Structure 1
Amino acid sequence: MITIENLTHVYPGTRKLAPRTAISDLTLEVKDGEFAILSGPNGSGKSTLFRILCGLALPSSGKVSVAGFDLFAQPAKVREVMGVVFQSPAVDKHLSVAENLKIHADLYGLGGAGFTRRRDEALSWTDLVDRLDQQVATLSGGLARQVELAKVLMTDPKVLLLDEPTTGLDPVSRRNFLDALHKLQKQRGMTVLMTSHVFAEADDVDRVAIMREGKLLAHDTPTALKAMIGTEMVVIQAKDTEGLAAKLRAEMGLAVRCIGDEVRLEETENGESLPLLEKILERYRPEVQSISIKQPGLDDVFVHVTSKAVPDHALAIDLKRTGT
C-alpha cells in the first residue's frame, strides 16, 4: 500500500552549514492492511520521511506510491485515500468538537446525511458523543486526541499516517487510544504507518522499521527483531563499565557491549545465560554492582541496531540473519 523506492533527501547547505543528507537511498514497503511502526533516534530522518509522505516536502530523488498512486505525479489522488494525524494538534481549541468535525467534513465535501453518518461512525468508539458542544480546549489530552482521530476517520482513509500520536498522553489515555486504533484498523482494513519512540506500542503491530542517519537498519516483525539478539541477555552494572567489559573480552572471550552504564552480553539462548552469570560473579563479584538475565524487548533491539558502537559489518550480519 505504501512503496518507497531509493528515496534520498538532501537539505541544501548555506554559507555556514554544509548540505545534510536526511534520507539516504531508503527502500521500504508497508503492505495493504498492515500496521507498521517507524522508529529511530533523533535525527534519523523520520520527520523528513513523514513530511514527504504527507506531501509537505519533495525529495531530492526516489519514488513513492500510495495505494497505487504516484505521490509526486498524482498528489490529489493520494490525498483522497490518506488520513494524517500530526504530532502537533491539528484541531482548533477555541471551537467545539462538533465545529471541528464539521469544518474538516466541509474541506472534504462531506455534507447532509452523508456527513451525519460518517461523523457518527467516527465517534462511535470515542468518549465524545456527549461532548460535541464542548470546547476542545476544555478536554483532556486523551479526549483531544480522540477528536484528532475521529476527524481523520470521517473521510474513511485507506492509509493512515500518525506522527507520534500518543505524545503527552498519560499511560491510561495512551493505552485506550492505541486499543481503539488497533480495533479500528482491523475493522476497516486500514494500512497504518505510525512513528513512535515508545516500544511498548510496537509489540502488537505487524512490522517495525528502525532508521538511523537516514538509512533503514531493520524492518521485520517484532518477534523476528527480538530474535536478532537471542532469547536471553545478561545485563551488568559495574563500578567501571569499560574496565569490566575489557576484562570480559580479554579474559573470558565474551562479545560484550557497553551501552550507557551497562555491560551487555547479547545473543545468548535459553540455558546459556545462567552458567555465564555464575562464572562472571565467580571472577568479578567485587566489580559487579548488579547482574541480571532478561529477555530482549524491542527497546533492546533499538539500542542494538542504533548504537554508534556497532560496526557497520556487525549490522550487516544482523540484518542478513533476519532476512531484511
Structure 2
Amino acid sequence: MIRIDQLRHVYPAGRKQPERTALFDLTLDVPEGQFTILSGPNGSGKSTLFRILCGLATPSRGTVTIGGFDLGLQGAEVRRIMGVVFQSPAVDKHLTVAENIRIHADLYGIGGPEFQARKDDALAWTDLKDRQADKVETLSGGLARQVELAKVMMTRPKVLLLDEPTTGLDPGSRRAFLDALHRLQKERGMTVLMTSHVFAEAENVDRVAIMREGRLLAYDSPAALRALIGTEMVVVRAKDPDYLGDELRAHLGLAIRRHGDELRLEETENGEGLPLLERILDRWRGDILSISIKQPDLEDVFVHVTGRAMPEQADHPGEPR
C-alpha cells in the first residue's frame, strides 16, 4: 500500500549550516492492511520521511507510491485515500468538538445525510458523544486526541499516517488512544504507519522499522526482531566495563556489546542464561555491580542495531529529523 523506492532527501546548505543528507536511498514497503511503527533516534530521518509521505516536502530523488498512486504526480488522488494525525495538535481548541468535526467535513465536501452518518460512525468508538458541545480546550489530552482521530476517520481513509500521536498523554490516555487505534485499524482494514519512540507501543503491531542517520537498519515483525538477539540475554553492570569486557571476551569467547556501563551478552537461548551467569559470578564477582537475565524487548533490539538508547524526550518541533 505504501511503497518507498530509493528515496533520498538533501537539505541544502544555509547561512549557518552545511548541506545535510537526511535520507540515503531509503526503500521500504508497507503491505496493505498492516500496522507499522517507524522508530529511530533524533536525526534518524523519520520526520523528514513523514513530511514527504504527507506531501509537505518533495524528495531530492526517488519515488513514493501510495495506494497505487505516484505521490509526486498524483498527489490529489493520494490525499483522497489518506488521513494524517500530526504530533502537534491540529484541532482548534477554541471551537467545540462538533465544530471541529464539521469544519473538517466541509473541507472534504461531506454534507447532508452523509455527514450525519459519517459523524456518528467517527464518534461511535470515542468518549465524546456527550461532549460534542464542549470546547476542545476544556478536554483532557486523551479526549483531545480522540477528537483528532475522530476528525480523520470522517474521511474513511485507507491509509493513516500518525506522527508520535501519544506525545504528552498520560499512561491511561495513551493506552486508551492506542486501543482505539488498533481496533479501528483492524475493523476497517486500514494501512497504518506511525512514528514512535515508545517501544511498548510497537509490541503488538505487524512490523517495526528502525532508522538511523537516514538509513533503514531493520524492518520486520516484533518477534523476528527480538529473535535477532536470542531469547535470553545476560546484562552485567561492571565497576570497570573496559576491563571486564576484555576478560569476558578472552575467557568466554562470546560477543560482548557495550552499552554505557552495561555489558550485554546477547544471542543466548532459553536455559543458557543461568549457567552463563553463574560462571561469570564464580570468576568475576568482585568486579560486578549487578548482573541479571532478561528476555529481549524491542528497546534491546533498538540498542543492538543502532548502538544507542532512545532519548527520553521527543524531537524538537521545527527541526528536521
Distance 1:15 1:201 in 2: 39
Tell me the SS of whatever aligns to 2:130. Answer: helix
Shift of 1:245: 1.1
Deviation string, structure 1 residues 42-84 (Cα, Å, up to 9, x no partner): 1000000000000000000000000000001000000000000
Cα-to-partner distance string for 1:83-139 (whole Å, 9 max, x where unaligned): 000000000000000000000000000111111110110000000000000010010
Q: Structure 1 counterpart of 2:190, which letter?
A: M
**Counterpart in the other structure of 2:103:** 103
Equivalents in 1 of 2:122, 2:29: separation in Å?
28
| Aligned counterpart, 2:253 | 253
Shift of 1:14: 2.4
Partner Cα distance (2:251, 2:264) in 1: 16
The percentage of counterpart residues that share the same residue type is: 72
1:287 alignment counterpart: 287
2:35 and 2:184 mapped to 1: Cα distance?
11
Aligned match of 1:145: 145
Question: What displacement does 1:251 show?
Answer: 3.1
TM-score, normalised to structure 2, is 0.95
Q: Which residue type is aligned with residue 13 of structure 1?
A: A
**Retained in 1: the 8 A contact 2:302–2:308?**
no
Offset at residue 250 of structure 1 (A):
2.4
What's 2:115 paired with?
115
Segments of 5+ residues of structure 1 without an aligned counterpart are 310-324
Residue 194 of structure 2 aligns with which residue?
194
Letter in 1 for 2:298: L
TM superposition shift of 1:308: 6.3
TM-score by length of 1: 0.94
Structure 1 outlier segments of 4+, above 6 Å: none
Distance (whole Å) between structure 1 residues aligned to residue 80 and residue 252 of structure 2: 60
Seen in structure 2, the aligned counterparts of structure 1 residues 308 and 173 have a Cα distance that, compared at 3 Å, is: closer
Bigger mean CA offset, 15-24 vs 285-294: 15-24
The one-letter code of the counterpart of 2:301 is V
2:169 is paired with a residue of what secondary structure? coil
Q: CA deviation digits over 1:234-266, x for unaligned, max 9?
A: 001112222211221123322111112211000
1:203-237 superposed Cα distances (whole Å, 9 cap, x missing partner)? 11000000000000000000000000001000011
Q: Runs of 5+ in structure 2 lacking a partner?
A: 310-321
CA–CA distance in 1 between the matches of 2:85 and 2:28?
21
2:229 match: secondary structure? coil
Aligned length: 309
AA in 1 matched with 2:4: I
